[in-house]
Amino acid sequence: MKLYDVTIIGGGPVGLYTAFYCGMREMETKIIEYLPYLGGKVSYFYPEKVIGDIGGIPEITGENLIRQLEQQARTFNPTIVLNQQVKDLERLSDGTFLLTSHNGAQHHTKTVILATGFGAIKNSKLDLLNADKYAGYLYHSVDNYQDFQNQHVLIYGGGNSAVEWANRLLPIAKRVTVVHRRDEFSGMERNIYNLKSSRADILTPYILDALNGDEVLRSVSVKHIKTEETMEISIDAVLLNHGFSIELGEIKQWGLEFENGSIRVDHSMQTNIEGIFAVGDIAGYRNKLHLITGGFFEGPTAVNSAKAYIEPDKKVKPLFSTTHSKLQRLRGSRITN
């Protein structure tokens, strides 16, 4: 395994900006995000809403903010891992950390910066008869789109994940049907446009009403919310995005100090465990300001502290993008090209 200087858990706006600043500090950086895309709760909850609490930007949609933050974060080519939730933490004999994700993947790092928000956004369990029986045909995430090749996939929900899944599966699956309880979708505008312009079957306003089959899930029944008319649809698999919960998961068992639902940090954004830092909504301290712009201050503070932790004998000098030689060369190269 490659040893990284810093691993950022959480790919929301604060995590993305933190990754950019890690690059400014010339630190080998990895981002691990639970969702299948970057942006965290901004992409999930309000991609189309206008944000106005960032200095110098009078107004910007959530989607455009994440797009620009992602472009900025990729400036120094961090490693980005999606569809993974970090569960276990182990400090090795040399002082480094070994992180293990829900799927068994492991990540080796010198420091950890938690930018999880209040936790991973997870789809709710389907409350239908035989949901447990057909659990092998019901998916809450997609690890490999090729697994659904030449299948009829029904997607239940209208959030950004549902829209993203549909668009990604259209060239792979035999047929894609999207069922949503509302007429309007809440994903990113460009993704919604692509979905509505595609060959996908879109049923609104409908809900899943029943799962049908013997030992194998053969079909589902859907019901129109207003007319209560039902129809049966033969399918091979169901992707669920019909509701959500926010969970911090096993991170609560790492021995971190919590206060009022947040992880306590000191002035350097370090937790009670040396080498582990927290930024954004999950970080708690006196007079905490829960704004994105506040997280943009906390991220660089944590990065500077992580740099000092890794190299205690070196003085961490101030950094400015206007005088950062490598960044200026990269910008000059883009302008030339």
111: in domain: yes
- Tell me which of 242, 259, 291 is where a domain ends: 242
336: pLDDT strictly greater than 70: no
Domain of residue 63, residue span: 3-121+246-336
Tell whether 91 and 70 lie within a shared domain.
yes
Strand partners, 179: 156, 203
Average per-residue pLDDT for the chain: 91
Question: Residues 191-224: pLDDT tens digits?
Answer: 899 999 999 999 999 999 999 998 899 999 999 9
- Tell me which of 242, 268, 302 is where a domain ends: 242
Question: Residues 276-328: pLDDT tens digits?
Answer: 999 999 999 999 988 899 999 999 999 999 999 999 999 988 888 888 888 88
Question: Residues 89-98: pLDDT tens digits?
Answer: 999 999 999 9
Tell whether 251 and 110 lie within a shared domain.
yes
Environment class of residue 209 by beta-carbon count within 10 Å: exposed (0-12), middle (13-18) or buried (19+)?
middle
The residues near 18 (Cβ < 8 Å, ≥ 6 apart) are: 8, 113, 115, 279, 299, 300, 302, 303
Tell whether 237 and 294 lie within a shared domain.
no
- Tell me which of 242, 261, 277 is where a domain ends: 242
The residues near 25 (Cβ < 8 Å, ≥ 6 apart) are: 303, 304, 307, 319
189: in domain: yes
Question: Residues 10-49: pLDDT tens digits?
Answer: 999 999 999 999 999 999 999 999 988 899 888 877 776 7
- If pLDDT is split at 50, 70 and 90, which confidence band does 335 have? low
Tell whether 231 and 304 lie within a shared domain.
no
Tell whether 232 and 312 lie within a shared domain.
no
